[in-house]
Amino acid sequence: MGSDLRDIPEEWPVTGTTVPFTGKVTGVRTDEVVMPDGSTARRDYQTHPGSVAVLALDDEQHVVLVRQYRHPVRQRLWEIPAGLLDVPGEHPLRAAQRELYEEAHCKADDWRVLVDLYTSPGGCDEAVRIFLARGVSPVEGERFEVAQEEADMELGRVPLVELTRGVLSGELHNTCLVAGVLAVNAALNGDGLDALRPAEAPWPARPYQA
């Protein structure tokens, strides 16, 4: 398929929109969408500000992880540090650096874009950018104060090879963890981590000012 193997922007006509629910961060929107055959169909979906996540890989090929309770799925999941793009005007890289500090009390010297994804494009407009962080080290001083689910959060560092086995065996399920682990393995077995996009690479799904 060559250069045609890419997602392209497209927008079908919308004849009407309602917003039946607006929450603190996300909401629900209902659009009346004109189909290619001229009919109209109702599409309900969750609106979302977007997210960033960080696969922090240390010099021993261990990945920095957090584990916390996720109520919708009734499970305690191993995850990579992640958070919402809920600060107006915040650069995605700055948001990722903030999340690594707040959740894992770490910083990193080298940042790259690992992978961009839509978490559930059939029912939600959430876009996520996953960064690769290397040169990982602890942050000095007291850890950022956490609350609610994050107050019960566990921290860990797990070998990448062990995480890969966990993903492929169906033991690990978090979207960003699964995508990040598989993407970093693909990069390591392909052109290498230094060939990844720079941290400032454009992000059409959530445009920002560099």
Instruction: Give residue 170's region: left, alpha or beta (phi > 0; psi -120 to 50).
Output: left
pLDDT in tens, 20-52: 999 999 999 999 999 999 999 999 999 999 999
Q: Which fold has domain 51-195?
A: Nucleoside Triphosphate Pyrophosphohydrolase (3.90.79)
What does each C-alpha distance from 117 to 3, 79, 107, 133, 170 come to in angstroms?
A: 19, 16, 24, 18, 20
| pLDDT score, position 143 | 61
- What is the band of 96 on the pLDDT scale with cuts at 50, 70, 90? very high
Instruction: Give residue 125's region: left, alpha or beta (phi > 0; psi -120 to 50).
Output: alpha
Would you call 92 helix, strand, or coil by DSSP? helix
- What is the band of 152 on the pLDDT scale with cuts at 50, 70, 90? confident
**The residue type at 61:** Q
150 among known catalytic residues: yes
Given the residues 32, 90, 102, 150, select the one marked as catalytic.
150
- What is the band of 2 on the pLDDT scale with cuts at 50, 70, 90? low
Residue 76 has pLDDT above 70, yes or no: yes
CA gap 43, 167 in Å, rounded? 32
- Token output for 22: 């607006």
Q: Are 21 and 28 in contact (CB under 8 A)?
A: yes
Beta carbons within 10 angstroms of residue 12's beta carbon: 11
Q: How far apart are the two ends of the chain, measured CA to CA in Å? A: 32
**What single DSSP character describes residue 124?**
B
